[in-house]
């Protein structure tokens, strides 16, 4: 996160995910719970969880994107930040980004090239590709 922060004051980091269903995969559930617990120990870092639901095509994450969008909007309207760094490639966030920008905020997008929506890229103010070079500096500095 330090590299994305670029010298700005970090207010808070939010991590959104959906826990694995314990009965479906007890080992993966345990590993994920340990990961969430480690994240919860990081200062100014909050873990926000949705849920996984079984559908005919497999498991579907529910509540994560909506929670993220509402949190972004609430914090923008609460004047809690000047710049949001959104780490996703999901084009569904383009409208939320535009609404936040209309509020006078900046939105930067960190993304993996293969999974980034053109609509989201067009909506954001700046972009940081999470490529091998970027990640190498983080993991091997």
Query: Is 15 among the domain residues?
Result: yes
User: Which of these, 78, 13, 89, lies nearest to 44 by C-alpha position?
Assistant: 13
CATH number at 136 reads: 3.40.50.1010
Question: How long a stretch of residues is the chain?
Answer: 141
pLDDT score at 105: 98
Whether residues 87 and 132 share a domain: the answer is yes
Confidence of residue 7 (pLDDT cuts 50, 70, 90): confident
Q: Which residue has the higher pLDDT, 129 or 5?
A: 129
Q: What beta strand segments (E) does 63-131 contain?
A: 83-87, 106-111, 126-129
Q: Say yes or no: 92 and 139 in one domain.
A: yes
- Quote the number of domains for the chain: 2
**Is 86 found in the same domain as 141?**
yes
Q: Is residue 74 part of a domain?
A: no
The most distant pair of C-alpha atoms in the chain lies apart, rounded to whole Å, by 46
Residues 87 and 37 in one domain: no
Chain-centroid distance of CA 7 in Å reads 20
Are 57 and 87 in a shared domain?
Answer: no
pLDDT tens-digit readout, 80-125: 999 999 999 899 999 999 999 999 999 999 888 777 889 999 999 9
**For position 6, what pLDDT does the model report?**
67
For residue 46, the model assigns a pLDDT of: 94
Instruction: State which residues form the domain around 30.
Output: 11-62
* pLDDT at residue number 63: 94
CB atoms within 10 A of CB 25: 12
């Amino acid at each position: 996160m330090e590299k994305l922060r670029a010298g700005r004051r970090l207010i808070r980091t939010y991590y959104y995910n959906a826990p694995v269903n314990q009965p479906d995969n007890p080992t993966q559930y345990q590993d994920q719970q340990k990961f969430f617990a480690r994240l919860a120990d990081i200062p100014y870092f909050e873990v926000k969880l949705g849920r996984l639901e079984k559908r005919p095509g497999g498991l579907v994450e529910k509540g994560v994107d909506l929670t993220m969008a509402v949190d972004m909007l609430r914090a923008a309207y609460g004047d809690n930040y000047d710049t949001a760094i959104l780490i996703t490639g999901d084009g569904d966030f383009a409208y939320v980004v535009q609404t936040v920008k209309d509020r006078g905020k900046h939105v930067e997008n960190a993304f993996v090239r293969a999974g980034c929506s053109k609509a989201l890229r067009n909506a954001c103010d700046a972009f940081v590709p999470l490529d091998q070079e970027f990640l190498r500096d983080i993991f091997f500095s």
